[in-house]
Structure 1
């Protein structure tokens, strides 16, 4: 099987780029507001459990499939199981990545706009109403469409340069800086008067408030945060050499993901409760809380700008992975120009993202099953396409892919025991599929 010419140059570059693909908006933007809307500590505990027990094994599985085939998502399944029909998983992933990026880029546009406004000090002001500012930005069709367009343009430029020159170099520098700034923000957040109430909300579980819908949300969030279920990581690992341990790399990505989610919660909820904000604020929670927190710090406007720029990078690393899976799906076989395909894909994502961008303005009354275009896209991807995609991947590993190749890919570059492999394979064949099906059916009140 011929290896791809474009490769990650280092293990660290692959891990940080994969972590960037996983973390982004999933851990920093979506996790806090989902936790706030689903009751706090119990949701966080479920999220960790699903990440470790289901998400991590599936992340390893995507790595195994990608490196085993040395192909992007669609071609990987065709290569590993030719003429069997399993290639639909790759197509499912490309469609899922497309829908995900269409509304994800809207939020990326918000981050871009906030970053631009913060540079001249237009975000943090005396007696500023940050809830009103967020409503003004998201309620302006011109601002949201401009943010969407610029965000997608940045993605197209980077993806046009490919893996090593585009994604990997930037990840090595900026991801560690983001961790440092998050830790600084947490230290300040927990020192506010009334912060302990927010910490208790976030870390003290109350299972009496959990519903089946909350459990499905936690499962979907674990998949969303790890970027599994749409074969993004299949594409990323197809650029990986045989000297890298897939389980150890997946473990590193998962630990970073949980750690950043923890930092996000500790940075957000103490501020929420200290300033009497609503934890179930929804998608705007981060954009309301961050300025409130930085406004209370010395040189707050400067540090907000720096944090937003780093956050923008984290958001971009996630969207890079989505555009990469779409672009590579159309350049792998027919050797089309990467730049042209990236431009066409970016234009298509922009058009698809317009309804979500206008969900708080011109299309606020347009509903799909009672949800705005933005919320409907989010629900479709997070609660249906990602869990279903993870189910398909688990079944593919457990019942279709060549067992010898699976074990080889699992074992390369590490010294894990046979027992570890058997436990992982048991999870993939039985525990993960059964858990996903039960959670999904329970959320629909079928069982």
Structure 2
């Protein structure tokens, strides 16, 4: 069944899709993954993967969604009827479900810090912000309660639909986030020894690159752009046939890379100036932000504003994850949206509880030396998302007519046949080959193959 709602404008679609892509991926995750993966070389790999794999894949998901005007599972079923290819959509729905289960935990952390900020309870002279963070996430009742609040907000917005919910909120919040980031960067760059942080973030040291880091960079590019889970299939299904696909894709990738750059420039100069550890891990942002704002006049006010915007940026990503699940459930029957949004929200909350308790009650439960939170993150970012990308890169050239792909991609665009042929070549050969090689390298199979020759 065809979707019944559409974005009211192209800018609404771009900001909503960018909000889905940016959120926690660029602001929270990129700095800490860059920190544990060696800095500049990792960030360069992230940029390359975003441009040469993420961007083509974003266009591919746009084509699937806009050409069918259907949510993820139905879109694949429409393009390849009587086959099993619709399982790509089901994989995306499952991945988003699992992703939102631990993503909501991070959202809960932000809720806690925001509420503390309202009462001036974050910044204090001489505070050990790392210890404060550990105590905060080690409180099981607090983190579960905050996770519930975060998911409740997400459910309420998605239950309202596209134009009145997701689009309206994104139009206000995304531009404001950029402005406050600039304030944070200016102060961070003026701290003592700030240039060491800039050097760590932007000067590549390729000796620090490992096959594991390459997998992380690839996974981070997919995570940051929300590709591989068919979120963008669902979002683009609400886009009018009169709009170009190229311009929104360029805007989304550019905004994502810009926010990633701003996040790094805000975080790493402060990390080195304040003598913190860049490999801090998931808590890096929550340790660095209070320390930086502590150095600013009216720091509590600025910190509260940033936390509010960070919370809303995180929510825009959560909206997209819940939207793909809800849309695949209601299948265009909007009267069922509210009911299923509530039901799915409760299920996600329950599944996310183990991740929320990974730093307290379940701290001793490890899977391959990772706690439950990190295990869920690794499974989504480095296995399920690349797998989804691999399947989409095989599906698009194989099951969609080349003429349809050309028409959808070049419609309302000044690009010609050469640009299309380059995109098609990357989708058909480069992306599957790169993903397969990285997986073979990670598993050690590639070394055995090379040894044979």
Q: TM-score, normalised by structure 2?
A: 0.97
* Structure 1 residue 244: Cα displacement: 1.6
Residue 346 (structure 1) aligns with:
345
Measure the CA separation in 2 of the matches of 1:183 and 1:412: 36
Residue deviations 1:54-90 (CA, integer Å, cap 9, x gap): 0100011000000011000000000111012100100
Residue 144 (structure 1) aligns with:
143
* Structure 1 residue 171: Cα displacement: 0.8
1:382 alignment partner, SS class: helix
CA contact (8 A) 1:68 1:406 kept: no
CA contact (8 A) 2:228 2:392 kept: yes
Measure the CA separation in 2 of the matches of 1:3 and 1:173: 29
Residue 316 (structure 1) aligns with:
315
Residues 335 and 14 of structure 1, relative CA distance in 2, 3 Å threshold: closer
Residue 222 (structure 2) aligns with:
223
- Structure 1: tracts of 5 or more residues without a match: none
Residue 172 (structure 2) aligns with:
173
Residue 82 (structure 2) aligns with:
83
* Structure 1 residue 368: Cα displacement: 1.8
CA contact (8 A) 1:109 1:150 kept: yes
Deviates more, 1:2-11 or 1:106-115: 2-11
Q: TM-score, normalised by structure 1?
A: 0.98
> Structure 1 runs of 4+ off > 4 angstroms?
333-336
* Structure 1 residue 183: Cα displacement: 1.1
Residue 50 (structure 1) aligns with:
49
CA contact (8 A) 1:242 1:413 kept: no
Measure the CA separation in 2 of the matches of 1:375 and 1:79: 36
Measure the CA separation in 2 of the matches of 1:331 and 1:211: 44
Measure the CA separation in 2 of the matches of 1:160 and 1:333: 13
Residues 237 and 415 of structure 1, relative CA distance in 2, 3 Å threshold: same
For residues 22-41 of structure 1, what are the structure 2 equivalents within 5 Å? 22-41=21-40
Residue 245 (structure 2) aligns with:
246
Measure the CA separation in 2 of the matches of 1:199 and 1:360: 31
Measure the CA separation in 1 of the matches of 2:30 and 2:278: 12
Residue 274 of structure 2 corresponds to residue 278 of structure 1: no
Q: CA RMSD in A?
A: 1.0
1:337 alignment partner, SS class: helix
Residue deviations 1:342-370 (CA, integer Å, cap 9, x gap): 00100000000000000000000011222
1:85 alignment partner, SS class: coil
* Structure 1 residue 27: Cα displacement: 0.1
Measure the CA separation in 1 of the matches of 2:387 and 2:46: 17
Residue 367 (structure 1) aligns with:
366
The count of residues paired between Structure 1 and Structure 2 equals: 446
Measure the CA separation in 2 of the matches of 1:204 and 1:424: 30
Residue 189 of structure 2 corresponds to residue 190 of structure 1: yes
2:22 alignment partner, SS class: helix
CA contact (8 A) 2:20 2:317 kept: yes
- Structure 2: tracts of 5 or more residues without a match: 447-453
For residues 205-216 of structure 1, what are the structure 2 equivalents within 5 Å? 205-216=204-215
